[in-house]
Amino acid sequence: MDWTKGREGREGDLGRDIELEEQLRVLDPSQDDTGYWFRFRGWVMKEAADELARRRLAVDLTVEDLLESWSRTVIPVALAAAIAAIALMRNSPNDDPKVFLAVGVEELLVREIPAQTQPVLLSPNAAEGIVAFALDIY
Amino acid sequence: MSEASSEGELVRLALKGDENAFGNLVELYQRAAYAVAYSVTGRHEDAEDAAQESFLVALERLEECRNPDRFGGWLMTIVRNRSKNLIRRESLRETDEIPLGATSRSPMPDRVAENTQIREILEGALRKLPEVQRQIVLLHDLEGWKHREIADRLGLPSGTVRSHLHFARKVLRVELGSSPLGAEIHRKVQ
């Protein structure tokens, strides 16, 4: 750092006392050790590293940043889901009767038919029943 | 960008853990922090400890700096308080017995030895001043701060700073002029 820093333009000041300035310079630790202030800063920065890291971490977890990160991931997914839901709602069930018709026929075919095993159905007596008749026709 | 607003910006960035911003603040105020700490403690080692610790305390409590544009003044308050606490602790420790030979020093080069002598004279002269005058004379004549800056950072009226500086210089001139080494310094400067 420049020793003359801040010495210019001291309007209204008492002015410089060069002699006293020279004498006081002896108190500057960098007079006998040129790297003093560099090391001073280095020591402070080393000791401050944990606190600075903690602050960076805390900043990463602010509500603002959470919302920002959500805007990058959750919101597009939510939008896609909403669009898909709207598309599904527009295709109401009445618009596609075939699906329900197919189910209806299936239901119709098996409704009120007692559960019977394959050997029973294929037995000689089975032909007497309505179900067997229907199966034959089908 | 003005000096004040850039200082405020550095504080805001340091609040978020920006290493460069905090490093710049340290660089900006390390000399002044040392000078203020020295004006309170009167010893290099104590001033160094107090100034360095003050930066760490300032970082930990940065949220308490209500006006980031006035970080310097806020930091100087921390430095003064830390320095006073350090002296208090030191004075408690001084009651312990100092081991024999603990104060002996290794031989120093001539220049360092000479500087040490001059330093001792200066320290003696500075001790004659009230603390606030020591702070002002060191910030003004060692660090090159302006009256306005000192007044702003120490929370004093500008006229008071001028007056303190005037009296501090007067005392120092008398004290340094009356010692043989002070005369030697005077001769060197001439």
Domains and CATH numbers, chain B: 1-94 (1.10.1740.10), 111-190 (1.10.10.10)
pLDDT computed for residue B104 by the predictor: 41
Minimal-distance CA residue of chain A relative to B111: A32
Domain-by-domain residue ranges, chain A? 94-138
Residue range B66-117, pLDDT digits in tens: 999 999 999 999 999 999 998 888 777 665 544 444 444 444 566 666 777 7
A23·B185 Cβ contact <8 A: yes
Distance, in angstroms, between A73 CA and closest chain B CA?
24
A7·B144 Cβ contact <8 A: yes
pLDDT computed for residue B39 by the predictor: 94
- What is the secondary structure of B67-132 as a DSSP string? -GGGHHHHHHHHHHHHHHHHHHHHHHHTTSPPPTTTT------HHHHHHHHHHHHHHHHHHTS-HH
Decide if A39 touches B, using CB distance below 8 A: no
ipTM score above 0.95: no
Decide if B43 touches A, using CB distance below 8 A: no
Best of A11, A27, A56 to disrupt the B interface by mutation (most B CBs within 10 Å)? A27
pLDDT per residue as tens, chain A (138 positions): 343 444 444 545 678 888 888 888 989 999 889 999 999 999 999 999 999 999 999 887 766 666 776 677 777 788 888 888 888 888 765 555 555 555 566 676 666 666 666 666 667 665 555 555 555 555
B19·A26 Cβ contact <8 A: no
Lowest model confidence (mean pLDDT) among B1-10, B97-106, B127-136, B167-176: B97-106
Name the band, by pLDDT with cuts 50, 70 and 90, for residue B56. very high
Question: Residue A75 is which amino acid?
Answer: I
Distance, in angstroms, between A27 CA and closest chain B CA?
6
Decide if A59 touches B, using CB distance below 8 A: yes
The CA-based angle B126-B89-B164, given to 5 degrees, is 25
Highest mean pLDDT among A96-100, B4-8, B52-56: B52-56
CA-to-CA distance for B187 and A44, rounded, in angstroms?
Answer: 38
Best of B7, B25, B26 to disrupt the A interface by mutation (most A CBs within 10 Å)? B26
Q: Identify which of B131, B114, B123, B145 has the alpha carbon closest to the alpha carbon of residue B31.
A: B145
Decide if A136 touches B, using CB distance below 8 A: no
The distance in angstroms from the start CA to the end CA of chain A is 101
